[in-house]
Amino acid sequence: MDITQIKETALYIEDLDRTEAFYSQQLQLEVISKVEGRHVFFRAGSSVLLCFIAEATKGDESLPPHFGKGNMHIAFEVPKEKYMEVKENIRSSNIAIEYEQQWNKNVESFYFRDPDGHLLEIVPTGMWE
């Protein structure tokens, strides 16, 4: 197998407008699709973040049902030289930073929550090299 990346990640949410405002306005991700009452999708670099209303997609018949519950974790990568700027932008957007982690090789990351309680992380490029 020649898997090169994770192309899509799905989160299950309760309020499309609230989710759209958070990810597009506060995290500045581009909205690439929105279907009222069902989903909103965002571009994150070369990946896509899929945000579904779980109850709306649970009974899909044209695709395998997309649904789940519980809080998930995803990490967003930012250029190493922009890491501190992104952290300050998160703080100045009144988003509480829940935790900061110092990893090996002087690499750090920080964690915060989206409006549905999903745990988000910002990591600099090179974290897994």
| pLDDT of res. 62 | 84
- What is the rounded distance in angstroms from the CA atom of residue 120 to the CA atom of residue 47? 15
- What is the rounded distance in angstroms from the CA atom of residue 29 to the CA atom of residue 46? 12
| pLDDT of res. 85 | 97
Same domain, 58 and 87: no
Same domain, 41 and 98: no
Same domain, 1 and 55: yes
Render each residue's pLDDT in the chain as its tens digit; 129 residues. 998 899 999 999 999 999 999 999 999 999 999 999 999 999 999 999 999 999 888 888 888 888 888 999 999 999 999 999 999 999 999 999 999 999 987 899 999 999 999 999 999 998 888
| pLDDT of res. 105 | 73
Buried b (16+ CB within 10 A) or exposed e, 20-37: bebbeeebebeeeebeee
| pLDDT of res. 67 | 86
| pLDDT of res. 65 | 82
Same domain, 38 and 63: yes
Domain count, the chain: 2
Q: Residue 111: give the domain boundaries.
A: 71-129
CATH assignment at residue 80: 3.10.180.10
